[in-house]
Amino acid sequence: MSRIARTSFGFACVLLLAAGMAQAESPDPSKVPGVGTVAPAFGLYPLPQGTKAEKKPGGREAVQLDEYCGLRPNETELVLLAFVDASGTILDGDPLTTWYRKYHRDGLEILAISLERNPAEFAARVKRARLPFPVLDDRQGVVAQRYGVDKAPFVFLLNSQCRVLGVDNKGPADLKEALTGTFERVLSGIEDTPSTPPE
């Protein structure tokens, strides 16, 4: 049963789209999923992160969005999709790692999606960083195109039904205050997980 937000949702729902960005080989900004729409499904392989599961035969399986929200949401309340590249601060671990460690038990999932076209060096750095959440390899830009993303950083906040609650072309560090406040309110039960965007 979907729940209704009792208070205003703190995450700024901002789309900044420059005119003329769409090209034949680049993502179409008009395809950015809007607030309230269902996020496009995808499956991507994670970059190696040095886990024991990866060392077993068949250990690196594709990560499907519907494992986290939508069809099989488990205990997930919120999913943060963060499109990243080597120029960002994802490998510094903050704020994504901090959020994951603090809010994962309460229902937060984080999926980082790498837009690196030649990810070998970045993959080695990801493996050394031992991040607690998956970093997915979108070197072909297939998922980025579905989401209308042409460069990192770009973030989407989804609810347990994979509906978009917020979208912004700033990085997680720039949105730290707004997102931390949202996680605190929603995951602590002060505010219900919005099933539809706030008015």
Domain ranges of the chain: 29-187
Q: What is the pLDDT of residues 44-98, one digit of tens each?
A: 999 987 655 454 445 568 999 999 987 665 678 999 999 998 887 777 767 899 9
| Burial zone of 1 (CB within 10 Å; 0-12 exposed, 13-18 middle, 19+ buried) | exposed
More confident residue, 5 or 158: 158
pTM of the full structure? 0.78
Which residues, including other chains, have CB under 8 Å from residue 7's CB and lie 6 or more apart?
Answer: 185, 190, 191
Percent of the chain with pLDDT over 90: 38
Sequential DSSP letters for 143-171: HHHHTT--SS-EEEEEETT-BEEEEESS-
- Give the Cα separation of 95 and 72 in Å (integer): 27
Phi, psi of 191 (to 5 degrees): -130, 135
Q: Which of 55, 63, 78 is nearest to 143 (CA)?
A: 63
- Give the Cα separation of 64 and 44 in Å (integer): 7
- Give the Cα separation of 107 and 73 in Å (integer): 10
CATH H superfamily, domain 29-187: Glutaredoxin (3.40.30.10)
> In the predicted model, is pLDDT for residue 169 greater than 70?
yes
Provide the pLDDT confidence category of residue 121 given band limits of 50, 70 and 90: confident
Neighbours of 85 (CB within 10 A): 16
Q: What pLDDT is attached to residue 72? A: 63
Q: How far is CA 83 from CA 86, 87, 114, 170, in A?
A: 11, 12, 6, 10
Q: Which of 36, 15, 42, 70 is nearest to 134 (CA)?
A: 42
- Give the Cα separation of 167 and 35 in Å (integer): 7
> In the predicted model, is pLDDT for residue 115 greater than 90?
yes
